[in-house]
Amino acid sequence: MGLPNLEVKKAFADIILNKLTAKTTAQISAFYGKKVKAAMDAKDFTALKDEFNKILNEFSYESVVSFKEYAFRDVYKVMLQLIGFNTYTEYQTALGRSDLCFENDRRLYICEFKVIGKADNVREKLEEAKAQIKEKKYGLRLTNKEVITLATVIVNENKDETHQAMREVAAIEEVS
């Protein structure tokens, strides 16, 4: 007996997705990955913010409008994986858990994300993320790599009388 219709559809979808994923991965690594890695190597977090916003801009308004913090985190996790970083989320320590960690052979990056609904309190949320990183000692890790902690604020603002719709990484700063 042949495969049921649903199994045939799933098998076909898997073949298509595997082909698309291989092509997409190669394109991301070849073009986008070089820019992200260059920004990381130079510790140019303004350039990193710009590159992260390019990823965010690839999503339709309809999908991003309902994103929560975990969705933004997972988008960046997958993109960083595609360009060659080892990534993990919700890394638990004795005092708490950081949102996203990613590493290469030389550096370990630890990120705390804050997603806000209004662009007018970016600085406040950035300071809150920095304080959390310090209070929870996210950067205190047993590793031979350079540890870089990053406070990241994403604005996910909906249109109202005073603001245009906005979806962007508004700030990335290293916490010392």
Query: Rounded to 5 degrees, what are φ and ψ at 104?
Result: -125, -160
Q: Are 154 and 116 in contact (CB under 8 A)?
A: yes
Interval 117-129: pLDDT, tens: 877 888 999 999 9
Burial of 2 (0-12, 13-18, 19+ CB in 10 A): exposed
**pLDDT score of 1 more than 50:** no
**pLDDT score of 172 more than 80:** yes
**pLDDT score of 154 more than 80:** yes
83 against 30, higher pLDDT: 83
Q: Give the CA distances from residue 173 to residues 47, 73, 109, 145, 165, in Å, rounded to whole numbers and listed in that order.
A: 11, 16, 12, 19, 24
**What integer best gives the mean pLDDT of the chain?**
79
Weakest-pLDDT range from 15-24, 25-34, 104-113, 146-155 = 15-24
pLDDT band at 74 (very low <50, low <70, confident <90, very high): confident
Mean pLDDT across the stretch 33-45?
90
Q: Give the CA distances from residue 137 to residues 93, 147, 174, in Å, rounded to whole numbers and listed in that order.
A: 9, 12, 14
Cα pseudo-dihedral 120, 171, 133, 128, rounded to 10 = -10
Taking residue 132's Cβ as centre, other Cβ atoms within 10 Å add up to 18
pTM for the full predicted model? 0.75
Mean pLDDT across the stretch 21-35?
69
**pLDDT score of 173 more than 90:** no
Query: Rounded to 5 degrees, what are φ and ψ at 56?
Result: -60, -35
- Provide the strand spans (E) within the chain: 86-92, 97-103, 107-116, 146-157, 166-175
**pLDDT score of 42 more than 70:** yes
